Chains A and B, each alone.
Chain A
Amino acid sequence: MPSDYWQTLRLTLALAACTTVLLLLLGLPLAYGLARSRSRLRPLLEAVVSLPLVLPPTVIGFYLLLAFSDSTALGRFLINQLGLSLNFTFAGILAGSLVYSLPFMVQPLQAGFRQLPRSLAEAAATLGKSRGTTLWRVLLPNMKPALLNGAVLTFAHTLGEFGVVLMIGGNLPGRTRVASIAIYDEVESLNYGQANAYALTLLVVAFAILVALYWFSKRDARLS
């Protein structure tokens, strides 16, 4: 059983870490665009980004399951053209996590961009700096708390993911079986001790992450 435990835990952490890194890369341009946009379509895009906050995870999981299957055009394209069979794979639950945790990354980043005075980016422009240089050397270094917040919330939220993973990934040990699903599975089989091992681990990890976040933001507030 201990090997099961470590395998599941490794998979859970790998999923959370991959989701956090990919969402940072995807979320930054999206949040930057949303924060600066004056388009009339912005509310629409913001609603799409925030949708996973209010939808039951099973709804997201259900539609992603359909989208990845060969019964839809998208699914056939993924499977036949790209060779991506996503259902019941790690890549599939990763894709689901990206959708599910999107608002937890984008919203703090968007707020971080909005908090910066507009004149900072403008001053960089009058100094001849490109948008990329401005983003990397002026904007991001001045919104570290927002970056930390987005990354930590995304990581923690992905650790606790259940419905989406269950719908797309099922419960395949070593491939899609993450801790929250393992807990459910162990309880179903009346293995309360094993369920407790997973549950306690998640509890401690989640608590430690939040303590670290608040400790960092307190230190940051004192420094600035």
Chain B
Amino acid sequence: MLDFHLTKALHTAAGPRTLDVALALPPGELLALSGPSGAGKTTLLRLLAGLDRPDAGFVRCEEQTWYDGPRRQWLPPQRRPLGFVFQDYALFPNMTVRENLAFAAEGQSDKNQWVNELLELLELGELAARRPALLSGGQQQRVALARALARRPRLLLLDEPLSALDLPTRLRLQQVLADVHRRFALTTILISHDPAEIARLAHRVLTLDLGRVVGVGLPAAPPTPATVAGRVLAVLPAGRLRVQLPGGAEVEVAAPSGYAGGVGAEIALTVAVGEG
């Protein structure tokens, strides 16, 4: 159970604002944090981790008080059992992949076995002896996630872990995140801008704008392909058609195989709805 109410002065493009968020997460919930840049998403994560100091409020995690403004209690980040994945991954360049994990797992009684298990779980076995500089973005991301898990945290905080990756890598890592979440059932907060990613991973989504909560609820259903009727305007060479969509927009598409209709005929088009 993570329970918090945090306030902190924000400097946004629209002038000074106050970040003010209160929420309780049941154990094992995966919460997505969404909203435009400058909304205070990263700030909220840093306040929960203890990397920045809140102005007021409290944070409690599993009966342990991490922060209590009125009582002046403050647990430094070192003593909060959490894993944090940074936007820039923040892997230690002087250590190999295995050393990064082993450094994080120091103090665990089964350190070596646990590191091996994490390497296997995140498919990093073949990269174990490499330095971070020689890894691709998606590989670095997996190391960062494994390293965050190495301390056996009670809470996992992910700051836009997938936004810098190309779509195929992102889809694969969403699966990795889902697997990791299923396996460890960690209470998790994930910053994401991608509705499809949120729909796929999160139990709830909290939307912030300029420090204020503008919505908490279930993730929107993932966008599904829709079928619309278009009117053929012209038959072009090389088996292509110019088609008018219901909204009036014109597109050029490949003709369905065996298409025999002429100008003015109606055809069914499958349209993938773009992601906001």
Complex Cα spacing A122 to B50, Å: 10
Report if A137 contacts B (CB, 8 A). Answer: yes
Judge if A127 is at the interface, Cβ distance under 8 Å: yes
Interface pick from B89-97, B173-181, B243-251:
B89-97
| A125 at interface by CB-CB < 8 Å | yes
Pairwise interchain contact A122-B92, C-beta atoms closer than 8 A: no
Return the contact of B86 from the options A123, A128, A224 (Cβ within 8 A).
A123
Query: What string of 1s and 0s marks CB contacts (under 8 Å) between A138-162 and chain B?
Result: 1001100000000000000000000
Contact flag A128-B151 (CB < 8 Å), given A119-B86, A224-B133: yes
- CB pair A119 B90 closer than 8 Å: yes
Q: Which of B117-161 contact A (CB under 8 A)?
A: 133, 147-148, 150-151
With A137-B103, A224-B133 in contact, is A126–B84 under 8 Å at CB? Answer: yes
- Cβ of B189 within 8 Å of any chain A Cβ, yes or no, is no
Contact across chains for B77 and A126 when beta carbons are under 8 A apart:
yes
Interface size on B, residues (CB 8 A): 26
A120, A123, A124, A125: which has the most chain B beta carbons within 10 Å? A123
Flag if A127 contacts B104 (CB, 8 Å): yes
**A122 and B84 alpha carbons, distance in the complex (Å):** 9
How far, in Å, is B97 (CB) from chain A's closest CB?
15
Report yes or no: B77 in contact with A120, Cβ–Cβ below 8 A: no
In the bound complex, residues from chain A placing their C-beta under 8 Å from that of B76 are 125
Interface contact B78-A123, CB-CB below 8 Å: no
Q: Is the CB of A129 within 8 A of B90?
A: no
Task: Report the nearest B residue to A141, measured CB to CB.
Answer: B94
Cα separation A141 to B201 with both chains bound (whole Å): 38
Instruction: Look across to chain A and name the residue whose beta carbon is closest to the beta carbon of B153.
Output: A126
Asked whether B78 lies within 8 Å of A142 as measured between CB atoms, the reply is: no
B94 engages A128 (CB within 8 Å): no
A193 at the interface (CB under 8 A from B): no
- Tell whether A128 pairs with B88 under 8 Å between CB atoms, given A141-B94, A224-B133: no
Rounded to whole angstroms, the CA-CA distance of A119 and B90 in the bound complex is: 6
- Residues of the B chain whose Cβ atoms lie less than 8 Å from the Cβ of A123: 84, 86, 90-92, 147
Q: Which residues of A contact B78 (CB under 8 A)?
A: 125-126, 128-130
Q: Would you call A117 and B103 a contact (CB within 8 A)? A: no
What sequence of 0s and 1s flags, for each residue 84-114 of chain B, a beta carbon within 8 Å of any chain A beta carbon?
Answer: 1010101111100000000110010000000
Quick check: B90 and A122 within 8 Å, CB to CB? yes
From A122, A124, A129, name the one whose CB has the most chain B CB atoms within 10 angstroms.
A122
B51 touches A (CB below 8 Å):
yes
Beta-carbon contact of B51 and A122 below 8 Å: yes
Q: Are B94 and A127 in contact (CB under 8 A)?
A: no
Task: Return A139 CB to nearest CB of chain B, in Å.
Answer: 10
20 new A-B pairs (CB below 8 Å) besides A120-B90, A122-B90, A126-B80?
A119-B90, A122-B51, A122-B77, A122-B86, A123-B84, A123-B86, A123-B91, A124-B92, A125-B78, A126-B78, A126-B148, A127-B147, A127-B150, A128-B78, A128-B79, A129-B103, A130-B78, A141-B94, A142-B93, A224-B93
Q: Which residues from chain B sit less than 8 Å from chain A, CB to CB?
A: 49-51, 76-80, 82-84, 86, 88, 90-94, 103-104, 107, 133, 147-148, 150-151
Shortest Cβ-Cβ A-B pairs, 6 listed: A119-B90, A123-B90, A141-B94, A126-B84, A125-B77, A127-B104
Q: Identify 8 residue pairs between A and B in the complex whose beta-carbon atoms are under 8 Å apart, listed by A's number.
A: A119-B86, A119-B88, A122-B84, A122-B90, A125-B77, A126-B82, A127-B150, A141-B94
